[in-house]
Amino acid sequence: MGSGEDTPGVTGGGVGGIVRGAALKALVVFGGVILIRRLRRSTTRWDHARTVADALSGEKFSREQARQDPGNYFNLR
């Protein structure tokens, strides 16, 4: 409304506005894709590091072990 490019009847600048809008939309979509990829990649690396650390620690605890021996399982020293 302020610039007057969208109003019908005004000649000139119509195609430029469409191209500018399409370019802006493409940039927003491209930026969103990059952001999502970065977030997914960092989560995957964190999960992988935690899995490797759990595998190397050698201690495997389960809910069943916690029920059988709660004194040893919840030892927080």
Listed as ranges, residues in the chain with pLDDT below 70 are: 1-13, 42-44, 58-61, 73-77
33 in a structural domain: yes
36 in a structural domain: yes
11 in a structural domain: no
The parent domain of residue 44 ranges over 27-73
Please give the pLDDT value at position 3.
59
14 in a structural domain: no
Split into its structural domains, the chain has a count of 1
Report d(CA 3, CA 1) in Å as an integer.
6
2 in a structural domain: no
8 in a structural domain: no
Q: How much is the pTM?
A: 0.39
Per residue in 14-36, pLDDT (tens digit) is 888 999 999 999 999 999 999 98
59 in a structural domain: yes
10 in a structural domain: no
Task: Please state, in angstroms and as integers, the Cα–Cα distance from residue 52 to each residue in 34, 44, 56, 67, following that order.
Answer: 27, 12, 6, 26
Is residue 51 within 8 Å of 44, Cβ to Cβ? Answer: no
